[in-house]
Chains A and B, each alone.
Chain A
Amino acid sequence: MGEKTKNILMALLIVGIVSMTIAYAALTQRLNINSNAKVLSKNTTWNIHFTNLSAPTKTGYAQVKTGEELVLDSSSTTLSGLTATLSAPGDSVSYTFDVINEGTINAKINTSGVHLANVSSATCTGSPVPSEADCTLVKNNLTYTLTYANGTALADGDKLAAGATKSLKLTITYNASATNVPTNDVTITGLDSYIDYIQDEASGS
């Protein structure tokens, strides 16, 4: 009986590992990028994520191709996939969305918890491939902002109580004061950002 039980346990282990491998096998043409490391805890009642993404609002000659819109990770506070083509000074693309605390733990933005995309390290692409000069020109004149919907800046310690929702606005702008434009269209990709929330010290779970 002891041997049989051990064999059953080992068989369950093998089945479990193989099942998880099949489920989590990375597929080509499908990639989940999660730049915000997620901690898993048992019986988690921590559930803060973005939701209710709007369609992009474009000004000037700004373009966002179908399939290249901002993507929200519905299980975290990560923004990724934003691709915008800005051709002239003043062009901008903006999105509004909500951050919601569906858990039972009051939260606040961690110290240095607002991680905005680093425009200078974003990727330039296009057809034809843009020159380094064009890429630098565009990056130097790009402004990437993430604020609350009313324009107030996000700050460390901003609270998000359990059950609460706040509206945010993401804007990427080609500065109106820029005096030069690139020779060819430059598409900027790799603008990933996230907000790091932790438990609010004022109260527990």
Chain B
Amino acid sequence: MKSSVKKILAIEILVLLVIISNFFVPYLFDKYRYLVFFLGIGVLIYFLTGIDIDKTPNEKPIFKKTLFYIMLYFILIYLLGLFIGYAKTIYSWSFTNLVKNIIPAITIIIVCEVLRYQFIRKSNNNKIVIILSYLIFVTLDVVLAFNTYDLSIKDDLYEFIGLIIMGSLIKNVLMTIYDIKSDFYNSIAYRILTEIYVFIIPIIPDLGPYVNSVLLIVLPTVLSVVVFSYKNKEQDKPKNKRKRNIIFTIVVFILLLLVGLNSGFFKYQSLVIGSNSMKNYLSKGDVVILKKLDSKERKKLKEGDVIVFKYEKKLIAHRINKIVKRDERDFYITKGDNNERVDEGAIDGKNVLGIVKIKIKSIGLPSIWLNELFS
């Protein structure tokens, strides 16, 4: 191993240990102290091995591809927001706060990406150095967010895993590929475009933690494949390429269907049955696809239909036992097939979410197990 590579490896181990120590001593470092620390590391690298900031010929073409996919991403999510709705950001628009929010964030991004680039460039393609560099920045993302979530609460834990851990794992793959294929200008551009917009744009599509988690995985994965494939010497044979495209299309279709049904944004939604109150027809762990009903469609409901309705803070899937009309409004008396008595109280029509159309046996059991694990 070259001496410069050994020096970089030693510096990486030092950086990783400092970041990991933050798990044991919370609030030891905040993002501003990390900024100072990384600047110090940058100075150390400069004196030990010098700093590389050369541009590469791949930079512009890869930047164009990056810009294209990010713009496509924003167009898609803002179009989706027309159907789902938008949320306001919490950041103030005063000039002082714009400066106070954006300048530190951009500075940290630039310092981190230049540092990452130094690690990758000076690694001499040593895999351990590259992997350590990756681990440093994943651990940094996790440690900075660690204390803002209450991991004893299931929803916070899911958000932390989906938005922070999984998002960081794939984002840092992309940043590493940028540094291998081109230079740090592209990784800086990606991060600024995808992280700074929350400070500037007043409304953001309210996609919820599930869809946001999915998007945080999809965008950098797609870009990773695109950037990695750039000027890759390996070429598919036409027959293999066609076969791969077919498989790819099928997989994408299935994933889109999965996300669309689970998101609850569209006319059809999937639900996992969480109890055996409808046993023999629906068992715990079955998945149902329900069709959402508007007020006109609700009038076609009849006794015997299995509906999903909101009751207090729960979603219940039970069978209509009787329909009661009162003052030109419909109320539904419901009963679980496996229950002895009808449900207490009558369900107002506006609390009916939809009617069960399709049931799939046992496919939702992993969700049940996960829910019981954290209950």
Contact = CB atoms under 8 A, between A and B. Distances in A.
B144 A81 contact: no
A43 B345 contact: no
B273 to A, nearest CB: 5
B331 A20 contact: no
Contacts of B156: 75
Interface string A1-24: 111011001101110111111111
A205 B270 CA distance: 40
B147 to A, nearest CB: 9
B210 A20 contact: yes
Contacts of B228: 2, 5-6, 9
A197 B270 CA distance: 33
A123 B352 CA distance: 13
A80 B97 CA distance: 33
Nearest to A25: B367
Contacts of A41: 89-90, 198
A14, A18, A127: most-surrounded residue (chain B CB, <10 A): A14
Contacts of A14: 251, 255
B316 interface: yes
B350 A123 contact: yes
B337 interface: no
B316 A28 contact: yes
A129 B331 contact: yes
Contacts of B141: 43
A123 B348 CA distance: 8
A30 B315 contact: yes
Interface stretch (A44-52, A55-63, A138-146): A44-52
Contacts of B158: 23-24
B239 interface: no
Q: How many B residues touch the partner, as a band?
A: 35 or more
Given A33-B313, A41-B198, A103-B148, A17 B324 contact: no
A22 B198 contact: no
A196 interface: yes
B88 A28 contact: no
B295 to A, nearest CB: 15
B320 interface: no
B96 A204 contact: yes
Contacts of B89: 39, 41
Contact of B170 (A16, A20, A37, A68): A16
Given A47-B148, A201-B97, A125 B346 contact: yes
A198 interface: yes
Nearest to A67: B312
A189 interface: yes
A35 to B, nearest CB: 11
A129 B313 contact: no
Nearest to A124: B348
Nearest to A81: B313
Contacts of B104: 205
Contacts of B92: 198-201, 204
A105 interface: yes
B21 to A, nearest CB: 19
Contact of B327 (A44, A132, A196, A197): A132
Contact of B259 (A17, A107, A201): A17
A28 B275 CA distance: 8
B262 A30 contact: no
B339 to A, nearest CB: 13
A13 B258 contact: no
B83 to A, nearest CB: 14
B18 interface: no
Given A29-B275, A31-B310, A81-B313, A129 B213 contact: no
B159 to A, nearest CB: 8
A163 interface: no
A41 to B, nearest CB: 4
Nearest to A199: B92
16 contacts: A2-B228, A3-B234, A6-B228, A16-B166, A17-B218, A17-B259, A21-B259, A24-B262, A27-B364, A33-B313, A37-B85, A127-B345, A129-B326, A131-B327, A132-B327, A132-B329
Interface of B: 30-31, 85-92, 94, 96-97, 99-101, 104, 141, 144-145, 148, 150, 153, 155-156, 158-159, 161-163, 166, 170, 173, 195, 198, 204, 206, 209-210, 212-214, 217-218, 221, 224-225, 228-229, 232-234, 236, 248, 251, 255, 258-259, 262, 264, 269-275, 287, 308, 310, 312-317, 324, 326-327, 329, 331, 344-346, 348, 350-351, 364, 366-368, 370-371
Given A10-B248, A23-B158, A198-B91, 14 more contacts: A6-B229, A9-B225, A16-B166, A16-B217, A25-B287, A25-B364, A28-B273, A28-B275, A29-B274, A31-B315, A75-B156, A80-B313, A132-B327, A201-B96
Interface of A: 1-3, 5-6, 9-10, 12-14, 16-33, 37-47, 67-68, 71, 74-75, 80-81, 83, 103-105, 107, 110, 123, 125-127, 129, 131-132, 189, 196-201, 203-205
